[in-house]
Amino acid sequence: MNNLVWFRNDLRVQDNISLAKASLGEKVIGVYCFDPLYFKPGDFGFKKTERYRAKFLIESVMELRDNLRKHNIPLFVYVGKSSVCIAELIKEQKINDVYLQKEWTRDETSILDSVKKNVSENVNFHESYDQFLFHPEDIPYRSYDDIPKVFTDFRKKCEKFCNVRTEEKFEKIFPETNFLENQTIIPTLTNLGLVEPMEDSRSAFPFNGGETMALQRIKHYFGKLKNSRIIKKQEMA
């Protein structure tokens, strides 16, 4: 069984439901596509992805490829329409099942529909919500219509009746035969029609892309938050 993980807004190995599900198969490969839809002017006249975001994205894809390699999973990277690049990859690699994060916004939905139109009906697409603190199936409301308009009301009820799902650890290492050498290349900013961004010393967020930096940022943020609470309690004592 050949499985494909289509990475979109989930550029990480750890705590990735799609990757975990796909890895139950005998063979797994990954793909990411720099679709031109995200780099052309949008409805408001400016590019949807400019140089700062693009740089962060490129860094994230570079680390994703390296981290997948540690598990003997290849990452195919394309610059072009997903409807063409991903559809061709599915045919070439005889993919049976495609695993991806479930999205609902216009561009992501449009791209997914275009890919489905260009592949066999026998290819199965498995979408999973993987971008929320509380999973949609776990929130204490019978339907989306019951969700309160005030965020505080929503938050308090979720904190009382919901549990955050356990992190999905990914440790499986496939045999070397699973890794496929490929000639696909991660683009530069120039390839995407962009210029190198200038760093500004006044910026409070000089972040680099990638899973490692994201985890470091989380630890730093919550560590700082925890320390501030401890200091506050000491002041109140």
3-state SS string over 187-201?
CCCCCCCCCCCCCCC
Average pLDDT over residues 224-234: 61
Identify whether residues 7 and 113 lie together within a single domain.
yes
Per-residue pLDDT at 53 exceeds 90: yes
**pLDDT band at residue 228 under the 50/70/90 scheme:** low
Range of the domain at 43: 2-138+168-199
Per-residue pLDDT at 224 exceeds 80: no
Identify whether residues 117 and 22 lie together within a single domain.
yes
Identify whether residues 234 and 177 lie together within a single domain.
no
Average pLDDT over residues 227-234: 60
- pLDDT at residue 217, rounded to an integer: 85
- Best CA proximity match to 128, nearest among 31, 1, 223, 15: 15
Q: Token pair for residue 15?
A: 């705590």
Identify whether residues 193 and 222 lie together within a single domain.
no
Identify whether residues 16 and 61 lie together within a single domain.
yes
Query: Is residue 76 a part of any domain in this protein?
Result: yes
Identify whether residues 29 and 61 lie together within a single domain.
yes
Per-residue pLDDT at 111 exceeds 90: yes
The CATH number of residue 78's host domain is 3.40.50.620
d(CA 42, CA 45): 5
- pLDDT at residue 229, rounded to an integer: 62
Q: HSE on the CB side for 31, CA within 13 Å?
A: 24
Query: How many independent structural domains does the chain possess?
Result: 2
- pLDDT at residue 177, rounded to an integer: 95
Average pLDDT over residues 122-136: 94
Query: Is residue 160 a part of any domain in this protein?
Result: no
Per-residue pLDDT at 237 exceeds 60: no
Identify whether residues 20 and 54 lie together within a single domain.
yes
d(CA 6, CA 32): 6
Torsion of CA 53, 59, 60, 61, to 10 degrees: 110
